A = this chain, B = another copy of it.
């Protein structure tokens, strides 16, 4: 059973994406939402706060709750982090598994993953293709003590769905280091770009709820297609 405020977030999010409020550009007042969902004002405000932090809306004291009209599609959202399916609706997303194997963590990797040297780790190399365009190369490491099993079948569809829905693990948070660099030879080859073309790189460290690291990855994006969208709040 999910929390009430989460159900309200999901419902309002769906309504916004469906364009239910496009004509007026506003949500109902907090008071009305309280009546609609039959919960306390605190619970409504909790849901509203989450939708604000996701970049969907903003509140103006004395005035109301307004829809934030940003282009939410076609860019990688740094807010929702729900994967390509959410960011690229109605687009053909393909994942080619180049390589998948179990290796032992050397000193450098062990330091990054905060695990012991020699820990078994899945190393996965994937090429992502969207609408037929090469989009990104992913070089990922998963701690096998946390993710006990992985295969090409899973890597081809969605590793995250597998972790969340099948392994029932709680993903907590992630550090993302974002920068530009020159393409390396291997990534350039797979992405169909020239060496020394620009690359948009993201180094990820992903933690479970309890603070343990289960994934470290480097994602090299095709600069011609990949753009990140950050909806910031002050």
Q: Using CB atoms and an 8 Å cutoff, list the residues of chain A in contact with chain B.
A: 42, 53, 55, 58, 60, 63, 66, 68, 70, 75, 78, 81, 171-182, 196-200, 207, 209-211, 221, 223, 226-234
Contacts and interface: CB of A to CB of B under 8 A. Distances in A.
Contacts of A182: 197-198
A75 B177 CA distance: 8
Nearest to A207: B58
Q: Which 4 A-B pairs have the closest CB atoms?
A: A198-B198, A180-B200, A176-B230, A180-B223
B198 A234 contact: no
Nearest to A70: B175
A228 B173 contact: no
Nearest to A68: B173
17 contacts: A58-B172, A58-B207, A58-B211, A70-B175, A78-B78, A81-B232, A172-B233, A173-B231, A173-B232, A175-B229, A176-B230, A177-B227, A179-B223, A179-B227, A180-B180, A181-B198, A198-B223
A149 to B, nearest CB: 22
Contacts of A81: 232, 234
Contacts of A226: 179-180
A19 to B, nearest CB: 19
Contact of A173 (B58, B172, B178, B179): B58
A180 B58 CA distance: 29
Contact of A199 (B58, B180, B196): B180
Nearest to A210: B60
Nearest to A49: B49
Given A60-B210, A198-B198, A209-B60, A234 B177 contact: no
A65 to B, nearest CB: 11
A4 to B, nearest CB: 17
Contacts of A228: 177-179
Contact of A175 (B176, B209, B211, B231): B231
> Which interface residue of A68, A182, A228 has the most chain B CB atoms within 10 A?
A228
Given A66-B211, A68-B173, A178 B230 contact: yes
